[in-house]
Amino acid sequence: MLAGIGRRGFCKGLAAMPLAVRGMLADPMAAMVPGLPPTMGGLHFGVETFSFHDVQQGDAEAVPSIIRYMTMAGIPECEIMSGHIEPYPSAMTGWWVQTRKAPGFAEMREAARQWRLTVPMDYYVKIRKQFEDAGLRIYYYNINFNETFTDAERDRSFEAAKALGAEAISSSTVLSEAQRLVPFVERHKYHVAMHNHNNPVDPDQFASPASFEKALAMSPWFQCTLDTGHFTAGNNDAVAFLKQHHERITNVHLRDRKRNNGPNRPFGHGDTPLKEILLTIRDNKWPVRCYIEYEYGSFRPSVDEVKACMQYCREVLA
Amino acid sequence: MSGPGSMFRHAMVAVAFAIGTMGVAAQTLLPGEAAKPGDRDTGGVRPPTEKLEHGRIVFVQSSCHFCHGTDLTQAQMGAADLMHDQLVGMDVDGNLIGVIAKAGLPNLQTSMPSFSELTPQQISDLAAYVHYLRQVGRYKEAMAYTKPGDAAAGKVFFEGDGGCAKCHSTADRKSVAIAGKAKMLMPAGAVPKEDLTPSAGAVAHQHLLETATVTQWQDVATYMGTLQ
C-alpha cells in the first residue's frame, strides 16, 4: 500500500485519473504501435468502427476488414462496436428502441444473451491478438447497455472489454441505465464513458451538459465520450464542455454536423468547431483521444472518407 | 398441368407482365442484379433517368442510406421502413417526403436530422428516387409470392379499391381467349406515348404498386386465375 493512501483512496484516485494517462501507466501497448505513429500532431487519433459502413455487422470477416481499413487509413487505435465482433442477433440488442419491436426480437435477444454468457473469453483475446499482430490497438469497447441486459450480461460485457484489451467501455445509453451500472463499474473498477446523441425532449438521454453531469456525479468511474457532432446539432458548445470537463472526457467523437438538428457534413462544412476542439486539446495537452466517426453521405468507400477526415485533422494540426 | 396452382402462376405472370410493361421493370435494373462495372458504388445502382440519378445523389449525399438502407431495405437505427411506410405511398412529388426531410424528426430516440437546405427541385428528385426504389422493391416482393390467395377478396379489390375494373374488362377476357387477354392486359390508354410520357395506365400501376399490399396482389392474381 502506498504510504498515506488507503486502498479505497487509491482506487478513487485511480478512477479520477485521466484514462489515457492511466492506460499508458498500466499497459505499455498504449504507447507503442509498430508501423503506425501513435500520435498525429501531438494527439492520439482513433476511429469508431461504425465509420466503416461497408463492414457488415455480425460478419465473420468484419475484424479482418476493419484491420485492413485502419491500416489503410493510418489509424492505430479504435473503438470497436460490439456488432462488429458479436454474431448477428447482437446488432438487434443495442441502442435502437425501434429494433425491439421487430418480429422475433425476443428470440434474437435471448440468442444474443446466451452467446454473450457462454462465449469463452479466449474469443475476445484472439480478436485482441489479431489487432496487436497488425500493430493496432482496441482502446474502447462500444457496447450499448440498456434495460434488456441482465446483470450477468452486464458483468460479462465488462469481462469482454478487458479481454479485448480495452481501457474503457463506451456506451450509447441512458441515465436510468447508468444508475443500474454504478455497482458494476465500482466492482470491476472499470470506466464506462457515456456517448451522447441530440434528442432534445427525452430527459433520460445524454444530449446536454446537464445530462452528462448527472452521470458523472453517480460514480467516478463514469466518463464521457463526447460526440462533438451530435452535441453541436443539439445547439450545445463542445469547446466549453471540453474546457469544463476534460478530466472526465476519455475521447471525443469527431464529426461535423450543422446546428439545429442539422445533417452530417464532410469535415469543415458543418457547424462543429472541429478546428477549435483539436487545437484546444493539443494546446492544453489534455489526454483526450480523438476518434473519427464518419457518417456523412458519399459515393466513395468508407475508408476513403475516413482518410479524408484524417487529412482534415492533419491540416488543422500542421 | 392445370389446376388452381397452375392458374395462379399464370395469373401472377399476367400481373407481372402488366406491372412490368407499364410500370417498373421496363425502366430499371433491379438492385443487385446484372449491374455492370461502374454502375454500382457505395450509393447503390445507377438508375435509368437523369432525374432519378439526381435523386440518388441527394439521397446519398444527405446520407439517407445510412439509416434507411441503400435500396430501402436493411433500414437500421430505428429508421422508418420506407419500402412499406404508408405515408411514402401517399406522397406525390415530394409533398409529404419533402416536409419531413426539411423539418427532420428531432424527437426520435436518435433524431432524424433536418435537411432544411434542400431546394424544391432536390426534394422532387429525392422523392422520385425513393418512389423508384420502393416500386422496384415492392415489385420483387409481389412476384416472390407463390401461394394462391383469396379469389373473392381479389374480385372485391379488382372491382373496388384497386380500381382495376376502370380499365380492365373481365368480360372481354372471358369472351375471346387470345384477343380478350390482350385487350384486358393492354386496354385503351395503356400504351406509352411517343415522348415516353408515362401512360395513365403506367401511373395507375405505379401508384398501385406502392399502395396495395402483397396480400392484395396475391388475391387479385388468384381472382384472375379463376377467369381462365
Q: Residue B49: pLDDT band by 50, 70, 90 thresholds?
A: very high
Q: How far is B18 from chain A (nearest CA, A)?
A: 33
- The pLDDT score that the predictor gives to residue B15 is 55
Give the pLDDT of residue A65. Answer: 95
- Which of the residues A57, A69, A98, A256 would you substitute to probe the B interface, choosing the one with the greatest number of B C-beta atoms within 10 Å? A98
Average pLDDT rounded to a whole number, residues A112-122: 95
The pLDDT value given to residue A4? 43
Task: Give the pLDDT confidence score for residue A91 in this predicted structure.
Answer: 64
- Can you read off the three cell numbers belonging to residue B196? 415516353
Rounded mean pLDDT of A9-13? 52
Is A98 within 8 Å of B111 when comparing Cβ atoms?
A: no
ipTM of the complex: 0.82
CB-CB: which of B66, B110, B115 is closest to A197? B110
Greater model confidence, B184 or A293: A293
Which residues contact residue A113 at a Cβ distance below 8 angstroms, ignoring those fewer than 6 apart? A93, A150, A153
Distance CA B222, CA B14 (A): 11
Reported as a single tens digit per residue, the pLDDT across B84-115 is 999 999 999 999 999 999 999 988 878 899 99
Largest CA distance in chain B: 59
- What is the Rg, in whole angstroms, of the alpha carbon atoms belonging to chain A? 18
Using the predicted structure, report yes or no on whether residue B50 has a pLDDT greater than 50: yes
- Inter-chain touch B43–A299, beta carbons under 8 Å: yes
Distance CA A206, CA A204 (A): 7
| pLDDT value for B11 | 56
Cell 439517407, residue located? B64
pLDDT band at residue B29 using 50, 70 and 90 as cut-offs: very low
Q: Rounded CA gap, A99 and A94, in Å?
A: 9
Residue among A197, A202, A297 whose CB faces B62 most closely: A297
DSSP state of B95: T
- Whether A111 shows a pLDDT value over 60: the answer reads yes
Summarize the confidence of residues B146-161 as an average pLDDT: 90
**pLDDT at residue B153 in the model:** 95
Q: In the predicted model, what is the mean pLDDT of residues A177-202?
A: 96
Nearest chain B residue to A52 by CA: give it: B66
CB B159 within 8 A of CB B227: no
Model pLDDT, residue A16:
58
pLDDT at A288: 98
Under the banding of pLDDT at 50, 70 and 90, the label for residue A88 is: confident
Of B64, B66, B78, the CB nearest to A97: B78
Instruction: Please report which confidence band the pLDDT of residue A61 belongs to, taking 50, 70 and 90 as the band edges.
Output: confident
Q: Which residue has the higher pLDDT, A154 or B38?
A: A154
Secondary structure of residue B221 in the 3-state scheme: helix
Q: Which residue has the higher pLDDT, A166 or A18?
A: A166
User: What pLDDT, in 10s, does the model give residues A247-272?
Assistant: 999 999 999 999 999 999 999 999 99
Q: What is the DSSP letter of B185?
A: H
Separation CA A74–CA A303 (nearest Å): 10
Q: Is the separation of the CB atoms in A109 and A135 below 8 Å?
A: no
Of B89-98, B182-191, B214-223, the least confident? B182-191
Among the listed residues B172, B208, B206, the one whose alpha carbon sits nearest the alpha carbon of residue B187: B172
User: Do A263 and B62 make contact, defined as CB atoms within 8 angstroms?
Assistant: yes
Domain ranges of chain A: 41-317
A37-A38-A43-A45 Cα dihedral, nearest 10 degrees? 100
Domains and CATH numbers, chain B: 7-140 (1.10.760), 147-225 (no CATH)
CA A157, distance to chain mean position in Å, is 14
Quick check: A215 pLDDT over 60? yes
Query: What was the pLDDT predicted at B187?
Result: 64
In eight-state DSSP terms, residue B143 is H
- Contact between B40 and B71 under an 8 Å Cβ cutoff? The reply is no
Arithmetic mean of pLDDT over chain B: 79
A/B interface, count of CB pairs below 8 Å: 83
Give yes or no for residue A312 having a pLDDT over 70.
yes
Average pLDDT (B213-222) is 88
Which residue carries 499497459 as its cell? A27
> Does position A228 have pLDDT exceeding 60, yes or no?
yes
Interchain pair B60, A99: CB under 8 A = no
B8, B11, B15, B17: CA torsion to nearest 10: 120
Residue B17 has pLDDT above 60, yes or no: no
- CA–CA min distance B150, chain A (Å): 25
User: Is the predicted pLDDT of residue B56 greater than 80, yes or no?
Assistant: yes
Chain B residues touching A296 at Cβ < 8 A: 61, 63
pLDDT band per the 50, 70, 90 thresholds, residue A32: very low
Asked if B115 has any chain A CB less than 8 Å from its own CB, the reply is yes
Of A9-18, A198-207, A279-288, which gets the smallest average pLDDT?
A9-18
19-48 in chain B: CB under 8 A from chain A: 41-43
More confident residue, A304 or B15: A304
Mean pLDDT of B150-179: 80
Write the CA distances from B29 to A105, B14, B131, integer angstroms.
Answer: 33, 20, 15
Beta bridge partners of A172: A195
Q: What is the pLDDT of residue B189?
A: 57
What integer pLDDT is reported at residue A50 of this predicted model? 94
For A170, phi and psi rounded to 5 degrees? -110, 135
Q: Which fold has domain A41-317?
A: TIM Barrel (3.20.20)
At residue A100, the pLDDT reads 76
Question: Do B42 and B32 form a contact (C-beta atoms < 8 A)?
Answer: no
Nearest residue of A to residue B40, measured between CA atoms:
A299
* Chain A nearest CA to B112, separation (Å): 8
Q: Which residue has the cell 477549435?
A: A276
